[in-house]
């Protein structure tokens, strides 16, 4: 049920009213801070049935109401609903929002299957409503830098693109992300792989071949926690993507090998860490990478530090606000997410049948 904050419907006006479904890691660390610091947006209500999380919402965002169920959002005159609940709930929650006449942002992955994602995209088109997917890693500073270098031709023709999200977490933490049931959409392939595949497709276009290796290495784990995916893109570039929770030594975040040079960068974009610390894009020097963490550009023995572009997670919700105002397309198209899901499904099939899958 609602708390003491007024929930009376308010007609949509200049400020976009946003409802957030879920206040776990994604909702509390990523979406709520970004929504609340986006000009022209307000966090109007948060759906969580957990009393501790409701109390945390009231502390973090005292102007937002808390409600226990999604259905309590529909009378509130919302302009947007953001789905940041477990993966298995993405499609039913987004479907309910679209049927209620409200645009939707869904945290990655859009759905558990490509077919479900395609049906959701078709429903949004049929109803003339916004649907987008929160692929925030497109706005990592290191990825923006790779995009600039690839797009400018500084590296020549890229033959191989290597990308890693690796961690050292040898013990299970618990939670739905570590469940092996395919209906949950858990495991690292769907968690971190959603980012890595989206970035690769964004850079180099459609994949025509997919090969993958998936393993569950931690004691008690029944979900993949160590994975490798190789893509052949239609333009000839090969992407090699690693994701692991059991990497005792971390490889480079990006290694991009072209005919004219290479770019290599270690570490991880700092925006997630900053959000976890309670910082927001409203803070000074947001997204700035210090020079000692720059990647290196060059060839052979001749390389030099190359400045990392600022990370700009705030650009995503600024783009959503513009799209709701009819001023721009959505920052991430839903069918980009369907294409990524098609690759993820092919990767699972490849690993199961130990073969390369042709798309």
Q: How far apart are CA 159 and CA 50, in angstroms?
A: 49
Cis ω before 270 (30° cut-off from 0): no
Of 121, 136, 151, which residue sits at a domain end?
136
Of 69, 102, 136, which residue sits at a domain end?
136
Does 119 share its domain with 178? no
**53 in any annotated domain:** yes
Does 113 share its domain with 177? no
Nearest in space to 298 (alpha carbons), one of 238, 258, 252: 258
Does 175 share its domain with 238? yes
**11 in any annotated domain:** no
Nearest in space to 62 (alpha carbons), one of 43, 47, 48: 43
What tens-digit pLDDT sequence spans the chain (359 residues)?
A: 444 334 434 444 479 999 999 999 999 999 999 999 999 999 999 999 999 999 999 999 999 999 999 999 999 999 999 999 999 999 999 999 999 999 999 999 999 999 999 999 999 999 999 999 999 999 999 999 999 999 999 999 999 999 999 999 999 988 868 787 777 888 999 999 999 999 999 999 999 999 999 999 999 888 999 999 999 999 999 999 999 999 999 999 999 999 999 999 999 999 999 999 999 999 999 999 999 999 999 999 999 999 999 999 999 999 999 999 999 999 999 999 999 999 999 999 999 999 999 99
Task: Give the range of the structural domain holding residue 64, as residue numbers without chain letter.
Answer: 16-136
Place of tokens 């030099």: 304
**142 in any annotated domain:** yes
Beta bridge partners of residue 18, listed in sequence order = 43, 80
Does 47 share its domain with 130? yes
Cα 78 from chain centroid (whole Å): 23
Does 281 share its domain with 147? yes
Task: Give DSSP secondary structure letters for 57-93.
Answer: HHHH-TTSEEESSGGGGGGG--SEEEE-S-GGGHHHH
Does 79 share its domain with 144? no
Nearest in space to 180 (alpha carbons), one of 121, 210, 220, 128: 220
Does 162 share its domain with 95? no
Nearest in space to 214 (alpha carbons), one of 359, 345, 115: 345
Residue 184 — φ and ψ, nearest 5°?
A: -80, -25
Does 119 share its domain with 162? no
Q: Sheet containing 357-358: which strands, arranged edge to edge?
A: 302-306, 295-299, 262-265, 254-258, 158-166, 238-244, 226-233, 207-215, 357-358
**215 in any annotated domain:** yes
Angstrom distances, CA of residue 218 to CA of 68, 165, 168: 35, 17, 11
- pTM of the predicted protein model: 0.93
Q: State whether residue 319 is helix, strand or coil.
A: helix
Of 83, 112, 136, which residue sits at a domain end?
136
Q: How far apart are CA 94 and CA 182, in angstroms?
A: 19
Does 100 share its domain with 179? no
Does 99 share its domain with 151? no
Q: What is the CA radius of gyration of the chain?
A: 20
Q: Which class for 178: exposed (0-12), middle (13-18), buried (19 or more C-beta within 10 A)?
A: buried
**191 in any annotated domain:** yes
Question: 231 with 212: CB under 8 angstroms?
Answer: no
CATH number at residue 227: 3.30.360.10
How many domains is the chain built from?
Answer: 2
């Amino acid at each position: 049920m609602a708390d003491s904050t007024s929930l009376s419907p308010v007609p949509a006006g200049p400020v976009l009213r946003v409802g957030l479904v879920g206040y776990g890691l994604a909702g509390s660390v990523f979406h709520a801070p970004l929504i609340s610091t986006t000009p022209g947006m307000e966090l109007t209500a948060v759906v969580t049935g957990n009393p501790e999380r409701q109390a945390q919402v009231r502390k973090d965002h005292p102007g937002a109401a808390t409600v226990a169920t999604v259905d309590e959002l529909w009378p509130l005159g919302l302009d947007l609903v953001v789905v940041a609940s477990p993966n298995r709930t993405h499609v039913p929650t987004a479907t309910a929002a679209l049927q209620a006449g409200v645009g939707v942002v869904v945290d990655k992955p859009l759905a558990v299957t490509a077919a479900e994602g395609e049906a959701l995209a078709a429903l949004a088109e049929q109803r003339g409503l916004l649907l987008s997917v929160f692929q925030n890693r497109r706005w990592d500073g290191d990825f923006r830098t790779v995009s600039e270098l690839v797009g400018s031709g500084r590296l020549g023709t890229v033959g191989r693109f290597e990308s890693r999200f690796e961690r050292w977490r040898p013990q299970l933490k618990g939670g739905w992300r570590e469940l092996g049931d395919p209906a949950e959409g858990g495991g690292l392939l769907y968690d971190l792989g959603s980012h890595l595949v989206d970035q690769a497709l964004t850079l180099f276009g459609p994949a025509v071949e997919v090969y993958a290796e998936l393993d569950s290495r931690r004691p008690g784990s029944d979900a993949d926690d160590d994975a490798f995916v190789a893509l052949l893109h239609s333009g000839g570039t090969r992407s090699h993507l690693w994701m692991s929770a059991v990497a005792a030594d971390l490889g480079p975040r990006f290694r991009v090998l072209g005919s004219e040079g290479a770019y290599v960068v270690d570490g991880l974009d700092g925006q997630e860490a900053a959000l976890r610390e309670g910082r927001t894009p409203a803070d000074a020097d947001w997204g700035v990478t210090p020079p000692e963490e720059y990647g290196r550009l060059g060839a052979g023995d001749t390389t030099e530090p190359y400045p990392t572009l600022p990370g700009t997670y705030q650009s995503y919700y600024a783009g959503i606000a513009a799209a709701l105002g009819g001023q721009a397309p959505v920052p991430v198209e839903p069918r980009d997410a369907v294409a990524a899901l098609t690759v993820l499904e092919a990767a699972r099939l490849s690993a199961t049948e130990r073969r390369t899958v042709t798309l």
